[in-house]
Structure 1
């Protein structure tokens, strides 16, 4: 058993090896004999077990318990009455429209040979002003060609 497997079992089953799966207890005990880290992991798990055990249980009055237990039934009835779950596109539509516009612009720029193959990026930046294509006129106020 590796120390990582031991840690996962300690997190799942706690600090008492007797609660662990029987087929893993022997390997865990052997690892504890040779590993300081495993002993610390088991001590931490035991401390967490003690902390959880020290918390007083929560009790609900019967009326509150009935209200809580009725919630899932109410949700099922609302879903059935509305015809099932519906997806709200109002949150997604603006993002999708922006993505679609960026894709169309990228496709247009990529297929209209605005950039000449072989030019460096600085040469392309000097020769192409895409504001003419996007806004109809350049940014400095001159009309587009």
Structure 2
């Protein structure tokens, strides 16, 4: 088993190796015995799973979280959009040069 395969299995089955399919468990344990990187991957995932398990399940994001993310990603809003509660993209977002691949949409 490679480290990439191990990571994929971690993502699929989680950090509790006893819940993994028996066919992959032996190879996973063999890799863990030899690979510090695989051990670190497992440790990291187990830490995340434990942290998530400690939450009370009532953790709701702030009501304005989406707006804050949008503002951070795309810049400040206009005054009208802020008072209306709508979001606007930066003024140059629709220009051809603002496209992910500038010039791609231009006529040849």
TM (norm. structure 1) is 0.39
Instruction: Decide which structure has the larger Cα Rg and report it.
Output: 1
Structure 2 residue aligned with 1:115: none
* Residues 46-96 of structure 1, C-alpha deviations (whole Å, 9 max, x = no match): 0011011011123xxxxxxxxxxxxxxxxxxxxxxxxxxxxxxxxxxxxxx
Structure 1 Cα separation of the partners of residues 53 and 18 of structure 2: 17
Aligned length: 64
In structure 1, distance between residues paired with 2:13 and 2:49: 10
The aligned counterpart of 1:6 is: 6
1:54-93 superposed matches below 5 A: 54-58=54-58
Distance 2:57 2:23 in 1: 32
SS of equivalent residue, structure 2 residue 43: helix
Task: Give the equivalent residue in structure 2 for 1:23.
Answer: 23
How far is the alpha carbon of 1:18 from its aligned partner?
0.7
Moved over 6 A (4+): none
Distance 1:12 1:55 in 2: 22
Structure 1 stretches of 5 or more lacking a match? 59-98, 107-145
Counterpart of 1:42? 42
In the TM superposition, residue 19 of structure 1 has moved relative to its aligned partner by: 1.5
Alignment of 1:125-140 (within 5 A): none
Cα distance in structure 2, aligned partners of 1:52 and 1:11: 15
Q: Normalising by structure 2, what TM-score?
A: 0.52
Q: Kindly provide the CA deviation profile for residues 19-61 of structure 1, in whole angstroms up to 9, marking residues without a partner as x.
A: 2122111100010111111111110110011011011123xxx
Looking at both structures, which has the greater relative contact order when contacts are Cα pairs under 8 Å and sequence separation is at least 6?
A: 2
Structure 1 residue 32 and structure 2 residue 32: aligned? yes
Q: Please give the secondary structure, in 2, of the residue aligned with 1:56.
A: coil
- C-alpha distance in 1, partners of 2:4/2:10? 10
